[in-house]
């Protein structure tokens, strides 16, 4: 816990409870050594003061230091295949695709 308080003193940011975090962010915190679990198994994480996408080299370096794991993007969303597929399946005015992404058809 002392280490988290030191990070807070040096960098600012905040300390949050792991209960309010997604598994992805907890993994990032564990991997960069800014998580502490107390004797009651309550987890605390120091969150660095990053409020926007990093732009400068120093900002990117700071971000990658505290979020060292690759950010997970679902395989399906890496290309636009899902969009082309949806466009091909869409039947326009007579569309029968359930929750069609193209014509927003909701009635089937």
Contacting residues toward Zn ion, per CB under 5 A: 90, 95, 97, 100, 102-103, 105
C-beta closer to Zn ion: residue 21 or 90: 90
Secondary structure class of 52 (helix, strand, coil): coil
Torsion sign (Cα): 53, 57, 58, 62: positive
Least distance to Zn ion, CB of residue 87, Å: 9
Site of tokens 């800014």: 34
> What's the closest the beta carbon of residue 82 comes to Zn ion, in angstroms?
14
Q: How far apart are CA 79 and CA 36, in angstroms?
A: 38
Look up tokens 């007579």; give the residue.
94
Closer CB to Zn ion, residue 35 or residue 100?
100
E strand or H helix at 17: strand 14-17
Residue 90: CB minimum distance to Zn ion, A: 3
Q: How far is the CB of 95 from Zn ion (least distance, A)?
A: 3
* Dihedral sign from CA coordinates of 99, 22, 48, 9: positive
Compare residues 53 and 93 and give the one whose CB is closer to Zn ion. 93
Q: Which is nearer to Zn ion, 8 or 95 (CB)?
A: 95
């Amino acid at each position: 816990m002392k280490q988290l308080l030191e990070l807070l003193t040096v960098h600012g940011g905040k300390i949050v409870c792991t209960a309010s975090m997604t598994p992805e962010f907890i993994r990032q915190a564990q991997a960069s050594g800014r998580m502490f679990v107390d004797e009651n198994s309550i987890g605390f994480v120091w969150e660095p003061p990053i409020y926007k996408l990093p732009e400068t080299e120093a900002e990117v370096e700071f971000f990658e230091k505290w979020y060292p794991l690759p950010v997970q993007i679902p395989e399906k969303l890496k290309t636009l295949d899902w969009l082309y597929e949806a466009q091909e399946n869409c039947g326009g005015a007579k569309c029968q695709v359930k929750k069609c992404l193209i014509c927003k058809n909701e009635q089937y």
